[in-house]
Amino acid sequence: MKSANEKFIELNRLAEAGNAARIEKQHQAGKMTARERIELLLDKGTFVEIDKFVIHQCSNFGLDKSKQAGDGVISGYGKIDGRLVYVYAYDFTVLGGSLSRTNANKIVKVQKLALKMGAPIIALNDSGGARIQEGVSSLSGYGDIFYQNTISSGVIPQISVILGPCAGGACYSPALTDFIFMVKEHSHMFVTGPDVVKTVTHEEIDKEGLGGAAVHTTKSGVAHFIGETEEDTLLMVRELLAFLPSNNMDDAPKLPTTDAYSSSSDLDNFIPADPSKPYDMVELIESVVDGGYFFEIMEGFAPNILTGFARIDGKVIGIVANQPAYQAGVLDIDTADKSARFIRFCDCFNIPIVSFVDVPGFLPGCTQEHGGIIRHGAKIVYAYVEATVPKITIITRKAYGGAYIVMSSKHTGADINFAYPNAEIAVMGQDGAVNILYKNVSDEEKEKVRKEYEEEFSNPYRAAELGYIDEIILPSQTREKLIQALDMTHTKIRSNPAKKHGNIPL
């Protein structure tokens, strides 16, 4: 007879081995197993599994004959770059990774541990959704997961990785987390699948076109990152975590840099003198941050604004920047959603916000007005004002009208505001202004006032005279000025009036 230890070793081996045929099927579908994914995501050998012997409690529809140790989720904790993280991975080889009540209990257990210990949690999704045989028990499990997602929001970073199907209400757990990763052509998210869509709306569309990674990282803005392969995607998760603190009381990890204090004077010629000429804001950012490395977030969605992380003198910063190379960097509904959520993430997690501003205004037109640019645009103001982390702004060229105010101006609470000598800060551009104020005068007269307007407003000096700009700096001074400003604001103490919570326009 086997000893207790031998029996345990055998059971352990069986639990970890899973079902060979189903694993083979998973591989044939071009997907890794839950265990392989966790192995790749975490530092080698650091995974500690919890609830390995949990089994489901359902006997409906013959499920009593289909029990597997661990059920359809593998959960536990481990390390990424030596830092504690919690992880759970739906195991598609067990009843399609469907969510049983016991799977939900396993997930909620690690969610609670992550919150209690103040460490990030990563969900690896690959699931057929609610376990149909369990009915409302399964639905209650989702409810408990959503509850925990919401309670943990702003306390610990929560990351979702979609590596297969994620349908129906199951989408709302990832949607409640901070960042969603998807894999090209292998992951899908939709509230209702193609068949239901066809029945209800008569639209014919496949699952990739309806909710594939390309759709969610460019059109819907649901997902933040797209990876070429599962491996590529999981490595990106590791990269993101390097920029994040473990919780809202912690600072993001600092990395030493050997970069020079100042930038080359070549940067002074980078921005075109002609204000209508585009340039790539990414290049400007890369030329001032440590190692020239800008980790962009939501790169494919609303590209007229850039969001992402970088380091200055080793310290993590969140960057929000208008992108003149795309639609002149105009603000619209999607840019508002993208930037406001990012600003709020940085504020939750003590990450200073650096804003690079070159903005002609808000995008005019019926699509924007009827789509609610007023309530969406208000999110940017709200997010900047509410943010108590250090806020530093650099006006690189245009800052017109409401967009000037909105983009982290002194008036909406920025701590330090810089402008380059070629900055233009005014209610609107010279042509628009002259056409409104002098619409009935001769062309010659118009040209005269246009020049006058240019002299008066197409520079940063008026704003500097009023103290709205703290310093006018050369582009080549950007890095050193950011280092000084981040250093000076490091001890910033500010809190908003006590309240249950504000009422951000949604």
CB nearer ligand HXC, residue 132 or residue 436: 132
Q: How far is the CB of 204 from ligand HXC (least distance, A)?
A: 18
**Least distance between ligand HXC and beta carbon 183 (Å):** 15
Strand 416-419 vs strand 391-400: parallel, antiparallel, or unpaired?
parallel
For residue 179, give both structure tokens.
Answer: 């960042």
**What CA–CA distance (Å, rounded) separates 278 from 281?**
9
Residues 154-173 as b/e (b if ≥16 CB within 10 A, e otherwise) read bebbbbbbbbbbbbbebbbb
The residues binding ligand HXC (CB under 6 A) are 95-96, 98, 128-132, 139, 142, 165, 167-170
91 or 334: whose CB is closer to ligand HXC?
91
Paired strand residues for 153: none
| Cβ atoms of 331 and 359 closer than 8 Å | yes
* CB neighbourhood size of 118 (10 A): 15
Residue from 470, 457, 466, 381 nearest 423 by CA? 457
Separation CA 273–CA 278 (nearest Å): 10
Beta strand pairing call for 295-297 and 315-322: unpaired
Q: Going by C-beta distance under 8 Å and a sequence separation of 6 or more, which residues neighbour residue 289?
A: 310, 311, 312, 317, 319, 479
Q: Are 80 and 44 in contact (CB under 8 A)?
A: no
Whole-angstrom distance between the N-terminal and C-terminal Cα of the chain? 65
Q: Could you tell me the smallest distance in angstroms from the CB atom of residue 133 to ligand HXC?
A: 6
Give the pair of three-digit tokens for residue 145.
């997961």
131 vs 315 by CB, closer to ligand HXC: 131
What residues are labeled active site?
168-169, 402-403
DSSP 390-403: -EEEEEEEEEEHHH
Residue type, 175: A
Burial of 89 (0-12, 13-18, 19+ CB in 10 A): buried
CA 455 to chain centre: 41
What is the nearest approach in angstroms of ligand HXC to the Cβ of residue 97? 8
Q: How far is the CB of 196 from ligand HXC (least distance, A)?
A: 9
CB neighbours of residue 491 within 10 Å: 7
Nearer to ligand HXC, 91 or 415 (CB): 91
Segments of 129-259 assigned E as strands: 158-162, 165-167, 179-183, 188-190, 225-227
d(CA 434, CA 443): 11
SS3 labels along 135-156: CHHHHHHHHHHHHHHHHHCCCC
By C-beta, is 31 or 224 nearer to ligand HXC? 31
CB of 121 to ligand HXC, least distance (A): 19
Residue with tokens 């002098």: 438
Positions of E strands within 270-406: 295-297, 305-312, 315-322, 353-359, 391-400
In the complex, minimum distance from the CB of residue 162 to ligand HXC, in angstroms, rounded to a whole number: 12
What is the H or E stretch that residue 448 is in?
helix 443-457
Cβ proximity to ligand HXC, 164 vs 324, nearer residue: 164
